[in-house]
Structure 1
Amino acid sequence: MACPNCGGDLVSFPVPEDLQRFLPGDEPGAGVCRSCLALHPETEPPAEVPDFVALGDAIPEDDAAAIPLLLLVGLLDSLAMHREEITALLERVEGEGVDPLLALDRLDASYGEAAHIDLGRRRRQLEQLL
């Protein structure tokens, strides 16, 4: 499947039930673009969580941290609208032993201008939000 934003390949994954409230709509999964990191709801995700290595070293190896981080990145396009969800996801990622702001720095270094949002600017705004 291709990303509607840039045409890049999507990495689809199931979203655990306790995190599905952070997805738009009622889909059981999501797909993240390998080129721009845009997140899209997925109606038929794979049964197993894929290896996120295709997205680069900035994504944590542990699925319990990787999935909420990817959902967080997907919501960063509107901090004002998703403030509560973003805060909950930041806490979830941090609770899994990953520094979410450092992870965003690494994603920004990896994707730069190719990302669907300015990760560096959003990271600074998140710091102010927190």
Structure 2
Amino acid sequence: MACSACGSDSAIVCSLSDEYRDYAPADAAVISICTHCLTVDPADATSVDTGREVEPDFSRLSDSVPTRPERAIPLVLAIDLCSSIATNRSAIESLLEEVERAGTDPLLVIDRLRADPDVEPAVDLERRRHQLEQLLY
């Protein structure tokens, strides 16, 4: 499945718990995260091995992204929603606060993603960084 934003075929597929489905595109239960531009797209549930619990390898996104799902999933959902901060303000706030509660500084991760030459986020993180800081503090 090609990324809707950049056309890349490299993605991480993961299931979402109920608490995150409202933040996913089309309220998807399964999402794919593009390893090139970090765009989140709904994915087919058959693309996840339901026979066993396997955590996605979030390190494929970037060394900057946390590898634990409780940190990585809300972070990538928040980044994806940053295409429209005005529309998604409360959702982004909730997701970034969740990342912080899980023990990761989301702004530090965003700074590191901005500096990562292998990642070209579909969202302009340079412009959004200040707005995200205002949401959190």
TM-score (norm 2): 0.87
Change (3 A) 1:62 1:113: closer
Structure 1 window deviating more from structure 2 (116-125 vs 88-97): it is 116-125
Shift of the alpha carbon at 1:129? 3.3
Aligned to 1:40: 41
Shift of the alpha carbon at 1:115? 1.4
CA contact (8 A) 2:25 2:40 kept: no
The whole-number CA distance in structure 2 between the counterparts of 1:5 and 1:111 is: 18
Aligned to 1:106: 112
The whole-number CA distance in structure 1 between the counterparts of 2:25 and 2:67 is: 25
Aligned to 1:72: 78
1:80-129 CA distances to partner (integer Å, 9 max, x unpaired)?
00001000001100000000111111111115882101112111111233
Q: Which runs of 4+ in 1 moved over 6 A?
A: none
The whole-number CA distance in structure 2 between the counterparts of 1:119 and 1:78 is: 12
The whole-number CA distance in structure 2 between the counterparts of 1:93 and 1:41 is: 21
1:55 and 2:56 aligned? no
1:2 and 2:8 aligned? no
Which sections of structure 1, spanning at least 5 residues, go unmatched?
none
Aligned to 2:27: 26
Task: Map 1:110-125 to 2 at 5 A.
Answer: 110=116, 114-125=120-131
Q: Secondary structure at the match of 1:22?
A: coil
Which sections of structure 2, spanning at least 5 residues, go unmatched?
none
Q: Secondary structure at the match of 2:26?
A: coil
Q: Secondary structure at the match of 1:79?
A: helix
Size of the alignment, in residue pairs?
Answer: 130
Q: Secondary structure at the match of 1:32?
A: strand
Structure 1 window deviating more from structure 2 (61-70 vs 77-86): it is 61-70
TM-score (norm 1): 0.91
The one-letter amino acid paired with 2:23 is F
What root-mean-square deviation, in Å, do the aligned CA atoms of Structure 1 and Structure 2 show?
1.7
Shift of the alpha carbon at 1:73? 0.9
